[in-house]
């Protein structure tokens, strides 16, 4: 990992040097980059701008590689501030030349793209990256994405998505870091830093966009774009912290979300866009709408027409509009009528220009057209992608068959995801090419093809395939092999934006495939490649081992092959709870307690006596058919070795709010191979002025241990990190008693106690 980071730094420096040498000379004034200097350049430019030019800056269009001639006049008139979906360095330079040389004020255009989990080298989808519990690899993945994308002239990406995702039906969770506010916060911040570095004017830096502000993940029923009903307290305790963390990490931009919360669409929500983002958090970047989310406020029934939509967006605090043109068309009239003030417009333009200056676009608007060749799919990038995919894999079950050893002389490779070059890349792949994807089938042949007989019989051609004719062939292949490797899951189109599911079982005839294979009598290793948690209780029960991979990207195959044969040891942990049934949703670990929590001895449906008395089952909070537990809890994941936690000690049992609690413990590798454990620290605030979650993740650490090795580990937890928005809507630590766990997942460990005075 360290070596990769070093090589990344080297590539980055090499590319920077290249850009500096060829730096453009067209600009009359070179910035010293200080904030004061940038503010004075913003004001000076603003004072020269006409209203049309100002509205131009607030206008983002999508070109998708369309005719430059058609955009020419608008760009030359200064009526476009940002273009979405240009990816070719030559075209980007041509477009930029029109803006810089032909427009009256020469304001460069900000080129943007959805670079979400890699540009050409595709990394695991963000939910998979979250499973690594490794901010360093997530940082490096974002750095690789930025180096590749900026080599073509893209300087702004719409990522990270730091929405809290607690519903596996919601296809968009693929782009999230999962259900937990703390994990999402640190992963989002690492991603922002990876894209932007500490210096946005570095030519390999790409402006980040924290999205979708806010509450999008709480869409009712897990159906995309749907309404949310999040109270202000939930917003502040659960949905806002990850955005605050992105803002604190320096995210240059924010994007409004599609949902209406309690009746107010985010694009028209002054409370979140101004009161919270600007006044409380002092955010000084700019806010862009989501795609046409300004004009969609008409569909919401929140705006009468596009005039109303433009006015409400700007008054709420939006600075730039993505593609729906209500600003350029309607704001001149709104200013005339006094519905929007020049001050509103000037503030929006200031925010946009500030970021363009910080990006160094005025001093260095062009990209070197030969950079891409070096940057795209660089060896170090592929290596980083493989490392991330390796750490992202989660071992859900293992009866000892994994890792495969030399006794395994033949394997049957079956299932539709064994050789799915396109589908293993996952959602949000506009630019990655499937020809570069290495599948498990290819990688396994490469790794062990010289000593293991590989019988490939997919059984089904794609994940939704209902044609069962091939299953018998897969079964016959299984009969001939020592071990069966079944690659099942979801095609990439089944998750991502607008790709929600009401049924999250394995699709098509995959359940039948696993069932048939499990009856062959050979050890069945099920490898799942999916965009979301799935309801796989049956398949887990029928398999000897289950290795779960959220769409792992370009290098998923080699990562999986290494894990199966023990060249790497699984260390991923679940960033989302896996339900047994869809009917358990919402199910997440950090829920509040009911007045009637389970006691653990509840009687489930098959054991209820005939004509049992109405209250004989205990009147507790659980499902008669599903109980109260998930299939797998948040934070869960096995290794090829085992770990033992001991001597968990607190620096004090009684602390004040400005002290720091130190939690130390010993972690021992009690197995026979080296492995990495993600140690997790959870806290429960036992009594609050409002009810508090039964557990909250507060810290985690990846600890690598050789067999028999023990390490002393320490977490530092400032008591101020226990603050929450209380009954008076104040952010405070309430004195009282707390429980604390250190464990390998959110359901394990024994509590220790401390109190805060
Ligand atoms: C809509 C999506 O919600 C958003 O995340 C994305 O960045 C924009 N489209 C731009 O493609």
DSSP string, 134-166: -HHHHHHHHHHHHHHHHTTT--EE---B-----
pLDDT at 28: 35
Phi, psi of 579 (to 5 degrees): -75, 160
Do 685 and 734 touch, CB atoms closer than 8 A? yes
Q: What is the DSSP letter of 701?
A: E
433 Cβ inside 6 Å of ligand 1 = no
Q: What is the dihedral sign for C-alpha 705, 709, 710, 714?
A: negative
Please tell me the distance from the alpha carbon of residue 734 to that of residue 743, in angstroms, as a whole number.
Answer: 25
Q: Compute the distance from residue 280 Cα to the ligand 1 centre, in Å.
A: 26
156 Cβ inside 6 Å of ligand 1 = no
Query: Would residue 290 show up in a list of annotated catalytic residues for this protein?
Result: yes
Please tell me the distance from the alpha carbon of residue 141 to that of residue 190, in angstroms, as a whole number.
Answer: 10
Q: Which residue's C-alpha comes closest to atom 10 of ligand 1?
A: 291
Residue 290: how many other CB atoms lie within 10 Å: 22
pLDDT at 14: 39
254 Cβ inside 6 Å of ligand 1 = no
Cα Rg of the chain (Å, integer): 27
Q: Which residue's C-alpha comes closest to atom 3 of ligand 1?
A: 290
C-alpha dihedral (144, 147, 148, 151), degrees to nearest 10: 180
pLDDT at 10: 43
Regions of the chain where pLDDT drops below 70: 1-31
Do 470 and 517 touch, CB atoms closer than 8 A? no
Atom of ligand 1 nearest to the CA of 322: 10
pLDDT at 64: 81
Q: Which residue's C-alpha comes closest to atom 7 of ligand 1?
A: 158
SS percent in the chain: helix, strand, coil, step 5: 35, 20, 45
pLDDT at 684: 98
Do 583 and 405 touch, CB atoms closer than 8 A? no
Both tokens of residue 75? 């760009």
pLDDT at 8: 53
**Cis status, amide bond into 289, omega within 30 of 0:** no
291 Cβ inside 6 Å of ligand 1 = yes
Please tell me the distance from the alpha carbon of residue 510 to that of residue 468, in angstroms, as a whole number.
Answer: 9
211 Cβ inside 6 Å of ligand 1 = yes
Please tell me the distance from the alpha carbon of residue 745 to that of residue 723, in angstroms, as a whole number.
Answer: 23
Q: Compute the distance from residue 286 Cα to the ligand 1 centre, in Å.
A: 16
pLDDT at 65: 83
pLDDT at 31: 60
């Amino acid at each position: 990992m360290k070596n990769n980071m070093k090589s990344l730094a080297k590539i980055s420096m090499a590319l920077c040097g290249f850009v500096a040498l060829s730096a453009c000379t067209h600009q009359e004034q070179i910035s010293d980059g200080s904030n004061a200097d940038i503010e004075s350049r913003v004001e000076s430019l603003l004072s020269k701008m006409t209203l049309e030019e100002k509205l131009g800056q607030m206008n983002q269009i999508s070109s998708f590689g369309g005719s430059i001639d058609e955009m020419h006049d608008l760009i030359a008139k200064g009526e476009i501030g940002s273009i979405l979906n240009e990816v070719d360095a030559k075209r980007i330079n041509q477009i930029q030349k029109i803006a810089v040389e032909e427009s009256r004020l020469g304001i460069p255009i900000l080129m943007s793209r959805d670079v979400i989990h890699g540009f050409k080298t595709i990394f695991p989808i963000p939910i998979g990256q979250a499973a690594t519990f490794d901010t360093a690899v997530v940082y490096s993945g974002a750095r690789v994405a930025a180096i590749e994308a900026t080599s073509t002239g893209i300087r702004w990406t719409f990522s990270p998505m730091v929405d809290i995702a607690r519903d596996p039906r919601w296809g968009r969770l693929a782009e999230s870091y999962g259900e937990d506010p703390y994990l999402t916060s640190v992963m989002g911040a690492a991603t922002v830093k990876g894209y932007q570095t500490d210096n946005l004017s570095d030519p390999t830096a790409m402006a980040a966009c924290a999205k979708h502000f806010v509450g999008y993940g709480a869409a009712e029923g897990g159906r995309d774009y749907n309404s949310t009903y999040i109270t202000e307290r939930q917003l502040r305790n659960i949905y806002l912290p990850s955005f605050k963390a992105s803002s604190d990490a320096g995210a240059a931009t924010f994007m409004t979300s599609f949902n209406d919360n309690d009746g107010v669409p985010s694009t028209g929500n002054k409370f979140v866009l101004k009161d919270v983002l600007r006044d409380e958090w002092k955010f000084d970047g700019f806010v862009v709408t989501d795609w046409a989310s300004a004009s969609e406020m008409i569909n919401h029934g929140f705006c009468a027409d596009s005039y109303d939509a433009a006015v409400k967006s700007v008054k709420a605090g939006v600075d730039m509009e993505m593609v729906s043109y209500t600003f350029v068309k309607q704001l001149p009239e709104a200013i005339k009528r006094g519905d929007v003030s020049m001050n509103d417009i000037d503030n929006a333009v200031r925010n946009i220009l500030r970021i363009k200056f910080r990006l160094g676009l005025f001093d260095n608007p062009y990209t070197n057209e030969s950079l891409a060749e070096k940057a795209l799919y660089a060896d170090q990038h592929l290596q980083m992608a493989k490392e991330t995919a390796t750490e992202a894999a989660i071992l859900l079950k293992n009866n000892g068959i994994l890792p495969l050893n030399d006794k395994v002389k033949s394997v049957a490779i079956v299932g539709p995801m064994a050789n799915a070059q396109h589908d293993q890349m996952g959602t949000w792949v506009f630019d990655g090419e499937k020809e570069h994807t290495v599948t498990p089938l290819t990688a396994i042949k490469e790794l062990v093809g010289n000593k293991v007989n590989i019988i490939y019989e997919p059984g089904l051609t794609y994940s939704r395939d209902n044609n069962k004719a091939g299953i018998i062939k897969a079964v016959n292949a299984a009969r001939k092999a020592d071990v069966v490797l079944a690659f099942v899951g979801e095609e990439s189109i089944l998750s991502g934006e607008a790709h929600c599911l009401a049924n999250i079982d394995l699709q098509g005839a995959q359940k039948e495939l696993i069932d048939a294979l499990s009856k062959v009598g050979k050890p069945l290793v099920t490898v799942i490649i999916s965009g979301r948690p799935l309801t796989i209780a049956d398949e887990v029960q029928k398999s000897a081992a289950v290795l779960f991979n959220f769409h792992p990207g370009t290098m998923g195959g080699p990562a999986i092959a290494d894990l199966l044969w023990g060249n790497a040891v699984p260390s991923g942990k679940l960033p989302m709870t896996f339900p047994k049934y869809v009917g358990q949703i919402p199910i997440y670990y950090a829920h509040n307690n009911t007045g009637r929590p389970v006691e653990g001895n509840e009687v489930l449906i098959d054991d209820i006596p005939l004509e049992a008395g109405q209250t004989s089952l205990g009147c507790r909070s659980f499902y008669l058919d599903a109980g109260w537990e998930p299939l797998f809890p948040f934070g869960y994941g096995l290794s090829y070795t085992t770990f033992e936690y001991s001597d968990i000690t607190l620096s004090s049992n009684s602390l004040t709010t400005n002290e720091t609690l130190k939690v130390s413990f010993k972690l021992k590798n009690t197995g026979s191979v080296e492995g990495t454990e993600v140690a997790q620290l959870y806290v429960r605030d036992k009594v609050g002025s409002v009810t508090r979650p039964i557990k909250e993740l507060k810290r985690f650490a990846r600890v690598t241990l050789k067999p028999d090795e023990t390490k002393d580990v320490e977490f530092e937890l400032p008591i101020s990190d226990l603050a929450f928005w209380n009954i008076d809507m104040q952010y405070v630590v309430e004195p009282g008693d707390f429980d604390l766990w250190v464990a390998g997942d959110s359901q394990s460990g024994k509590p220790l106690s401390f109190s805060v005075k």
